[in-house]
């Protein structure tokens, strides 16, 4: 007996339990994202008009990624309904490129994962977040869409016209320090942004113009004297001194720009910029533009907070009043490889109340349950710095059996024609709803529920032929399949199985 034959009997178009990862789950994205919520959803999501921080701990398969997709979808809808009070989403869920670049700055034994992550600080997180946010913003401005672009957050020429001269300069400075796009060369992309902003001035090129002008004048004078009199007036080295003196302002500016570029390169360890292209870009600013501006040239958070405030101010002028940073998939980077201790080293610098409670910025930390044990062991100083009591913390993303039953019913409804059957309709009368609740309670999370139900459907259909089908799952099949799955689940929990 084929599975689709069993499902078609109940008017179900496709297997609602075939996919286990929310990232690729079309049933969830098309039919459940607006109807299926964890009971703690409202506490995590909060109010988009006042972005807030939430810290969620959940085991694998508990729905953290699904919750991230729901947050993004709901904010996209909020942005469409509130074009003057939009919220900017920064998805900070792929740590690999930033960890790889950071590791390249380490030498010798410091390149070991544990020693590398011990050197990872809060400002490295802030640099990574700014890179995602700034790159996405510039993609929007230049019309280059990518996977990091904020859904439903519109930026057009009228939005750019709201920026004053100082904010336009700040955006160019942010682009110089944090734009990580590789769609075109760094300098050409920065020039395209400057053109889009309508900023053009000869002031940054005064030193270059002076150098070229003096050089042309000296060369012309030398040629004129030699042609008319056959010799120079005065010693030859006097003309050389004048020639060099004309270039001193440009050389001084170039030296300062190269030194700043070097310091940015050394301290923004998660970046992909090179010194020379960055120095060339800094040369396009006047000395006064750079002398009073904070830049990430030191290993400290002060400069990053200032840069983040500039970024937030630019967004507010464009009608974007809030920022949501979503942190997810902490256990997936290859440098961490699922190690709870390495996850702690990566995430703990971010647990800082000053960072988590910034005005207009909400950080949604969707963390593996393994990190909860480290929170319980921390010192008084940690709790005073993190102030977890103010961060909407959810110690465990738990599901009741009734909630899991509703999730399964919603998925069946999403792929059904007309009146959808209930979950209990798939089983014979010997299996009561209370027995289903008891079984679902043992499965704990949606991923285990979906795996079990998929395996159960396969086991049932394998027991019958196409000519002699059965459309009710028997108690014997249910109990035997559940027993095998629970043994495998226990082995997975102990790290001895694939899950």
130 and 261 assigned to the same domain: no
Mean pLDDT is lowest, of 119-133, 238-252, 379-393, for 238-252
Q: What is the extent of the structural domain holding 371? A: 49-198+301-394
Task: Name the H helices within 143-205.
Answer: 157-160, 165-178, 186-197
- Take residue 256 and report the two structure tokens written for it: 């300062």
- Is position 290 within any domain? no
189 and 261 assigned to the same domain: no
143/186 Cα distance (integer angstroms): 16
- Take residue 205 and report the two structure tokens written for it: 């090129």
53 and 99 assigned to the same domain: yes
245 and 259 assigned to the same domain: yes
- Is position 169 within any domain? yes
152 and 223 assigned to the same domain: no
- Is position 43 within any domain? no
For the whole model, what pTM was predicted?
0.90
Q: What is the pLDDT of residues 198-216, one digit of tens each?
A: 887 776 777 888 888 888 8
Over 50: is that where the pLDDT of 147 sits? no
- Is position 323 within any domain? yes
**Quick one: average pLDDT of 229-244?**
79
- Is position 27 within any domain? no
- Is position 293 within any domain? no
pLDDT at 146: 56
431 and 464 assigned to the same domain: yes
Tell me how many domains the chain contains: 3
Task: Name the H helices within 348-423.
Answer: 353-356, 372-376, 380-386, 401-414
Residue 39 to residues 11, 50, 63, 407, Cα–Cα distance (Å): 29, 21, 12, 12
pLDDT at 209: 85
Q: What is the pLDDT of residues 461-487, one digit of tens each?
A: 999 998 888 999 999 999 999 999 999
157 and 218 assigned to the same domain: no
Average of per-residue pLDDT values in the chain = 89
pLDDT at 160: 82
pLDDT at 150: 53
274 and 323 assigned to the same domain: no
404 and 357 assigned to the same domain: no
93 and 115 assigned to the same domain: yes
Last residue of a domain, one of 365, 394, 423: 394
Last residue of a domain, one of 394, 419, 440: 394
474 and 388 assigned to the same domain: no
Contacts of residue 57, Cβ cutoff 8 Å, sequence gap at least 6: 367, 368, 369, 371, 372, 375, 393, 394, 395, 396, 397
- Is position 41 within any domain? no
Last residue of a domain, one of 261, 285, 309: 285
- Is position 32 within any domain? no
Mean pLDDT is lowest, of 111-115, 180-184, 311-315, 385-389, for 180-184
421 and 477 assigned to the same domain: yes
61/225 Cα distance (integer angstroms): 85
């Amino acid at each position: 007996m084929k599975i689709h034959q069993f499902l078609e009997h109940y008017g179900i178009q496709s297997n609602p339990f075939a996919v286990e990862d929310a990232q690729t789950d079309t049933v969830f994205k098309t039919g459940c994202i607006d109807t299926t919520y964890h009971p703690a959803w409202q506490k995590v999501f909060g109010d988009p008009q006042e972005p807030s921080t939430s810290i969620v701990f959940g085991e694998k398969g508990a729905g953290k990624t699904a919750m991230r997709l729901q947050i993004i979808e709901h904010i996209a809808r909020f942005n469409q309904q509130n074009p003057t009070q939009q919220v900017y989403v920064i998805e900070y869920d792929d740590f690999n490129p930033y960890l790889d670049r950071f590791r390249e700055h380490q030498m010798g034994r410091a390149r070991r994962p544990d020693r590398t992550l011990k050197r990872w600080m809060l400002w490295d997180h802030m640099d990574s977040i700014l890179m995602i946010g700034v790159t996405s913003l510039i993609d929007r401005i230049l019309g280059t869409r990518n996977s990091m672009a904020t859904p439903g957050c519109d930026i057009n020429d009228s939005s750019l016209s709201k920026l004053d001269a100082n904010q336009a300069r700040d955006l160019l400075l942010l682009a110089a320090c944090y734009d990580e796009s590789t769609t075109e060369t760094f300098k050409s992309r920065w020039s395209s942004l400057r053109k889009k902003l309508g900023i053009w001035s000869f002031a940054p090129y005064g030193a270059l113009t002076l150098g070229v002008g003096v050089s042309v004048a000296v060369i012309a004078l030398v040629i004129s004297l030699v042609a008319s009199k056959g010799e120079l007036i005065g010693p030859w080295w006097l003309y050389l001194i004048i020639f060099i003196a004309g270039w001193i302002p440009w050389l001084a500016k170039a030296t300062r720009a190269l030194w700043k570029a070097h310091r940015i390169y050394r301290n923004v360890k998660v970046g992909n910029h090179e010194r020379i292209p960055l120095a060339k870009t800094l040369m396009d600013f006047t000395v006064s533009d750079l002398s009073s501006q904070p830049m990430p040239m030191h290993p400290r958070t002060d400069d990053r907070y200032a840069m983040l405030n500039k970024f937030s101010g630019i967004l507010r002028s464009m009608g974007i009043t809030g920022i949501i940073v979503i942190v997810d998939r902490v256990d997936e980077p290859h440098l961490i490889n699922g190690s709870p201790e390495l996850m702690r080293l990566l995430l703990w610098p971010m647990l800082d109340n000053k960072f988590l409670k910034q005005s207009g910025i909400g950080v949604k930390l969707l963390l593996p349950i393994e990190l909860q044990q480290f929170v319980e062991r921390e010192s008084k100083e940690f709790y005073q710095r993190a102030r977890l009591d103010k961060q909407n913390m959810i110690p465990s993303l738990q599901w009741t059996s009734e909630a899991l039953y509703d999730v399964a019913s919603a998925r069946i409804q999403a792929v059904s024609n007309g009146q959808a059957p209930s979950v209990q309709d798939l089983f014979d009368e010997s299996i009561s709803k209370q027995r289903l609740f008891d079984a679902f309670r043992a499965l704990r999370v949606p991923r285990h529920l979906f795996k079990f139900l998929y395996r159960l459907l396969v086991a049932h259909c394998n027991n019958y032929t196409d000519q002699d089908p059965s459309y009710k799952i028997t108690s014997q099949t249910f109990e035997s399949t559940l027993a095998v799955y629970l043994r495998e689940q226990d082995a997975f929990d102990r790290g001895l199985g694939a899950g």
